[in-house]
Amino acid sequence: MGVAVAPSGPAAETGRAGPGRAHWLRVARETADDLATDAVARERAGRAPFDEVSRLRDAGLLTLLVPAGSGGGDADWPTAYAVVREIAAADGAIGQLLGSHYFLSWCARFFAEPSRAARIERRSVAEQWCWGGGLGCQEPPLTLAGTPDGQVLEGRRTCATGALVADRLVVRALRAGTGEPLAVVVDPARRGVRIDGDVDTFGQRLAAGASVEFDGVPVADDDVLDFPSVDEDVPSPLVALASPVGRLVSVQVRLGMAEGVLAEAREYSRAGHSPWHSDRPGGPPRDPQALTAYGELTLLARSASALDDQAVAAVRDGLARGEDLTYGEYAEVSALVALAEAAASRAVQESTSRALDIVGARSASSRLGFDRFWRNARTHALYEPATHRLRDVGDYFLNGAHPPFVLPG
C-alpha cells in the first residue's frame, strides 16, 4: 500500500466569492514585510502580541477562512496555509499564532452542525475574534460537569497557544461521569477563567502561550461541540480530516521559519561576510563551504516544500470530497501530511542550526537576531513534535495501519 501523491503546485480556486488567492498572498507579503521590520526588537521585548494581532486584524487576515456570506475573506485552506507560511518566514511565533487561530476558529465546521457553525463564524467576524487554545491530549483533560445551575468547566491547561490575546478559547474536555470527549468554546473574560502568563519559553515567545485555569466556568449548550474519541475509530472520515488539516498548519510554520532564516543568512552573505575567509575580495560570494552549505539547505527546504505541495493538494481534495470521503482516502491524506511534517521538521532544524555556522561568530550577536530562528524552531518542535511521523508512515506503508488521529496541542 502506497502513499497518495497529489499534483504539486498552487491549488486553483473555483466558484469562490472573495477577493481571491492572489489578493490574500499579496496582503500576507505586505503584512510579513511589516512584521519583519521590527521582528528582532519585538522578539527581544517578548511582550504579549496585541499589536501584532491588530496588524493581522487590520489586514483582514483573521477572517480569511470565513465564507463571504458571513462577512469573511472566503479563502480556502491552501490559501490559508500559504498565508501562515509567509507570516512565519518573517516571525515564526506570529505564524504559529495565526495558524492556530485558523484551525481553532474552523473547528466548529468539523465538530458542530452546519447551522451552529455558521452562527459561531458570523459572530466571530462581527466581533473580529482572535482564537486560541488547543485540542491536543498530552495532559489531563478538563472536565465538563453538570450542576443545578448548568454546565461548568473545571481544570487547567498548562499551555494554550494565543491565550494571552485570544477573544475565544477552544479546549478539549471530558464530560464528567461518561468520559465523552468534547471541544468547548470559552470566552476568556468569563468568571472563573484565570490566565497566567507564566509560560516563559526561550522561543516562540510571541505565540502568546499561557497556562489557563478553569474554576467553575459556566458553559452554554451552544458552546459545547462534539469531539471524536482518540481511543476508537473516529465517527467519519470527514471529521477525521481535522487531524491532517490541523497538523499541516505546523508544516507551514516550520517551512516558513526555514525559508526565513535562509533568506536572512543569504542577505548577510551577499553583503560580503564570510566566517571562513574574511579577507576574500569583494563581489558575489564564492566561498566553497558557504556555497555547499546553502546548496544542501536549499535541497532540504525545496524537498520539504514539494512534499508540502502534495499534502496541501491532498487535504484540499479530501475536504472537497466531503461525506463521500472514505477511510482509505483519509488514511492516504494523513500519511502524506505525516511525510510533510517529517520533512519540514528536518528542514527547519538543519536550516536554523547550520545558518548560524554560515554566519559565523557574528551570529552570536543578539542585535542580528539569527538566534531567534533556532530558538523558535526548537521550541515549536518541543510543543508539536514530529518524531513519530516516520514510524506512522512506515506502519502504513508496510502494514496498512491507518495513521493515528492526532490534533495540534
Domain boundaries, the chain: 21-130, 133-226, 237-399
User: 182: which residues sit within 8 A by CB, 6+ positions away?
Assistant: 144, 172, 173, 174, 175, 224, 225, 226, 227
Residue 346 has, within 13 A of its CA and on its CB side, a CA count of 19
| pLDDT score recorded for residue 166 | 98
CATH 1.20.1260.10 fits 133-226, yes or no: no
List the alpha helices (DSSP H) in 38-155. 39-45, 50-58, 77-90, 92-111, 114-126
Domain 21-130, CATH class in plain words: mainly alpha
> Over the stretch 130-175, which tens digit does the pLDDT of each residue have?
999 999 876 788 999 999 989 999 999 998 999 999 999 999 999 9
Residue 212 has, within 13 A of its CA and on its CB side, a CA count of 35
CB 259 within 8 A of CB 337: no
| pLDDT score recorded for residue 196 | 93
Show the beta-strand stretches assigned E in 176-272.
181-186, 193-196, 210-219, 224-226
| pLDDT score recorded for residue 3 | 44
User: 191: which residues sit within 8 A by CB, 6+ positions away?
Assistant: 217, 218
Weakly modelled stretches of the chain, pLDDT under 70: 1-15, 17, 138, 229-235, 272-285
> Over the stretch 120-133, which tens digit does the pLDDT of each residue have?
999 999 999 999 99
Tell me which residue has cell 521538521: 345
Q: Write down how long the chain is.
A: 409
> Over the stretch 222-244, which tens digit does the pLDDT of each residue have?
999 987 765 555 568 999 999 99
CATH 1.20.140.10 fits 237-399, yes or no: yes
By DSSP bridging, strand 168-175 and strand 142-147 are parallel
CB 372 within 8 A of CB 202: no
| pLDDT score recorded for residue 4 | 40
How many of the other CB atoms lie within 10 Å of CB of 269?
A: 21
